[in-house]
Amino acid sequence: MLDLTAVELSQKIRSKEITAIEATEQILKKVKQHEEKYNCYITYDEESALKRAGEVQKLIEQGECTSPLAGVPMAVKDNICTNGIKTTCASKILGNFVPTYSSPVVENLEAAGAVIIGKTNMDEFAMGSTTETSAFGVTRNPWNENHVPGGSSGGSAAAVALQECFYALGSDTGGSIRQPASYCGVVGMKPTYGRVSRRGLIAYGSSLDQIGPLCKDVTDCAAILEVLSLYDEGDSTSVMRTDTSFTDALCKDVKGMRIGIPSDYFGDGLDPEVKDAVMMAADFYREQGAVVEEFDLQHVRYAIPTYYTIASAEASSNLERFDGTKYGFRCEDGEEIGLHQMYKKTRSEGFGDEVKRRIMLGSFVLSSGYYDAYYLKALRVKTLIKEAFDQAFAKYDVILAPAAPTTAPKLGESLSDPLKMYLSDIYTISVNLAGLPGISVPCGFDKKGLPIGMQLIGDCFQEQKLIRAAFAYEQGRGSFPTVNERKERE
């Protein structure tokens, strides 16, 4: 049962071969088996999950729930609000926060019959690329427990790879869905900015954040995205669209599709094994009749400083609300030391080092005398990066690139060198700066047995083209081995 995709499982539940309760029991058994070692979840509730599975099963039997995801157990990243379930952002400062409402994306999935198992681990406030900055301990990569699962949605990616859920929600500010998907050998998609409601997503960088799925294959990705892509009038960034039939794009034919390969992405710093795997994917597209050629994607070399300037500035503003007065953690002697000292001590004790680092950087670039020199200049470069992509998409349907420069590093390697961790986002952050959709699909393994992911990037609201290209590659590649299958072979 656990080898099934989400869509396959739901089909069996609706055809009465399996029940939602049985599927949930199997997932919970897997969670209890692996959690002590891999730490994919911050919170999971066995009793609530089984109760929900029973409710969904009744709706399915009564013919009231017919979604292709009905009855499927899934997980939610712990920065997306869930009514009555702790939402901590993997931070001490929100360690006891229980929202009184659910994000619209959670409501949409529950209306489609989702069974929420729990909330997945992540880098604190989504600030990191390894899921090592969590206040609740590190998550380990299912393919090799001595390596990171990527981040910040590392808990979601690892849970899908370990079969601790059939799919999960993540958030992507600079690659936080696509990079851990690459590291964990699963499919991960960052939709166009505005495609999916951001309401209820605890903000890191408001102009960059986007919710998206991590799942087993492209078919699941298309089905989940259809459910997520409902217009939300309560979110000022939500865009009303009618082109949401993503499962219709599940077509193997890429003949005549124009695919660009940015030569800027294949220079120094890219692991040769990653390069070879992505280039093999390019050869596959050529064999299938697609037009594949290299081109120069200008201004991408400025993406990292631009991203960290803008994202840190927005984080500095967004995180000022966590001060110990309204909700969340407050230092023990807060009532005795005065308001301003209470603010300082609460934030000093409640935030981790990486969050403090980015708040300070953001406050600096927004400060008087530096606003023009750094923040405004970064906004101008962001516009240039978007223009470069516009020029590329005037010629190409999709762009093919690596999802990350290497496979998953060892635990502790990136944490000891924050700059090295920032550079791991080099191929993903420009997509967020331009508000574009991107999808990561497994395309091989390195010599250490760690997965390699390729990234397909599309123009705004062109998710159908991405799904078509990704599905065609996936069908040509054949089934990607699970963690269990790979370990059994070894």
Q: Give catalytic residue positions.
A: 77, 152, 176
Q: Which residues contact 196 (CB under 8 A, 6 or more apart)?
A: 105, 210, 211, 212, 225, 228, 229, 238
Contact 167, 91 (CB under 8 A): no
Give the dihedral sign, CA 351/354/360/366: negative
Report residue 167 as tokens: 């799919």
Q: Tell me if 311 sits within 8 A of 128, measured CB to CB.
A: no
In a 13 Å sphere around the CA of 20, the CA atoms on its Cβ side amount to: 29
Tokens of residue 3, six digits: 């080898």
Cα 7 from Cα 252, distance rounded (Å): 18
41-44 and 73-77 beta bridge pairing: unpaired
What phi and psi values does residue 262 have, to the nearest 5 degrees? -70, 115
What distance in Å separates the CA atoms of residue 154 and residue 147, rounded to the nearest whole number?
Answer: 11
Q: Look up residue 155 and give its two tokens.
A: 């808990």
Q: Which two tokens stand for residue 259?
A: 């695919």
Listed residue (39, 45, 189, 191) closest to 122, CA to CA: 39
Q: Nearest CA to 141 among 403, 354, 411?
A: 411
